[in-house]
Amino acid sequence: MPDLSIILPFHNEANSVRQLLHRLYPVLGSLSLSYEIICVDDGSVDATFAALRHERDLDQRIKLVRMARNFGKEAALTCGLQLATGRAAITMDSDLQHPPEVIPQLIEKWRNGVELVYAVRRNRNADGQMRRWLSQAFYAVFRTIAEIKLPAGAGDFCLLDRKVIDAVNALPERNRFMKGLVAWVGFHQDVVPFDVAPRQDGASHWNFFRLIRFAFDGLSGFSTLPLRIWTWGGVLVSCAALAYGGYLTLRTLIFGTDVPGYASMMVGILFLGGIQLLSLGVIGEYLARVVTEVKARPIFFVAERVGFDS
């Protein structure tokens, strides 16, 4: 059993494989810990797996998993955590946005008894403007309504003690919003700040729609408020409608009928129609996830493993 498992998800990152490992080795070498590096190839269609295989030939501490297709980063991390045998694991991006040089600080905290150490980003300078707005909005909403607390700037760069790994592995859900799951299990947590580097090569895999879906994965996984809030919205609108109805009745009795009113009628119909569609949409988002959970399909399939026993 190694002391430390490094878990790296790769999706079309052939050009950063060499440089990432090149920067990891000296850092890991300076720790006087035994380690394994678990590289999860998440359905890459470029030369990523060939590059990883080459690295494995050079150093047997590298272990490889090739997923049957692209299952997404959360599935890749889930797979890595299931296969990790270390007393602790570190998950990090493979595009060099998470600098390996931060690892000794994570280890330092772990040695002092912290069971879950987050590397938190000091700023979001590496992200585009739209991405920054979306994340800010997401975290503002998440902080307000979610049942868990995420440290500001926390992502998927963190160290998990064996106890935390086992706890996360025991969670059966298919909707794997990993940073939420990791935060949810609890344990003694602390943070280490770091500066996000620009992406080494290529572009982020998250476009607008994928970010929105990811945001909803997070919210629906850790809050039921978006579902329940419509009860109160409904109560409020009904009360307002009742009051307005009473007012209209009285007015008609006193002043007689008043035919004009097209504008207010349209506004009322459209507003309520919009609210109804929105609330139905939210129910649909949750329902879709319930369907996924009920189908209970495996989170991922592995096509090939290199370097693992049996």
Residues found near Mg ion in the complex (CB under 5 A): 93, 95, 97
CB 102 within 8 A of CB 155: no
Rounded CA separation 22/146 (Å): 39
Piece of 91-99, 240-248, 264-272, 287-295 that binds ligand UDP (CB under 6 A): 91-99
Piece of 92-100, 177-185, 261-269, 279-287 that binds ligand UDP (CB under 6 A): 92-100
* Residue 42 in the binding site for ligand UDP (CB under 6 A): yes
DSSP character at residue 102: G
Q: Which of 25, 139, 187, 206 binds ligand UDP (CB under 6 A)?
A: 206
Residue 76 interaction partner, one of ligand UDP, Mg ion, none, beta carbon < 5-8 Å per kind: ligand UDP
Q: Which is nearer to ligand UDP, 5 or 226 (CB)?
A: 5
Structure tokens that stand for 13 in this block:
């990152």
Q: Which is nearer to ligand UDP, 204 or 276 (CB)?
A: 204
Give residues with Cβ within 8 angstroms of 61, minimum separation 6.
2, 35, 36, 37
- What's the chain's Rg over C-alpha atoms? 25
Query: H helices of the chain, where?
Result: 14-29, 48-58, 73-83, 103-111, 129-145, 162-169, 178-184, 208-222, 225-255, 262-295
CB 76 within 8 A of CB 300: yes
Rounded CA separation 93/114 (Å): 22
Residue 13 interaction partner, one of Mg ion, ligand UDP, none, beta carbon < 5-8 Å per kind: ligand UDP
In the region spanning residues 94 to 123, those forming contacts with ligand UDP, defined by CB under 6 A, are 94-95, 97
Q: Which residue is nearest to ligand UDP (CB)?
A: 204
Rounded CA separation 41/305 (Å): 10
In the region spanning residues 46 to 65, those forming contacts with ligand UDP, defined by CB under 6 A, are none
Bridging pattern class, strands 62-67 and 35-41: parallel
* Residue 189 in the binding site for ligand UDP (CB under 6 A): no
Piece of 6-14, 142-150, 265-273, 296-304 that binds ligand UDP (CB under 6 A): 6-14
Contacting positions for ligand UDP (CB under 6 A): 9-11, 13, 42, 70, 72-73, 76, 93-95, 97, 199, 204-206
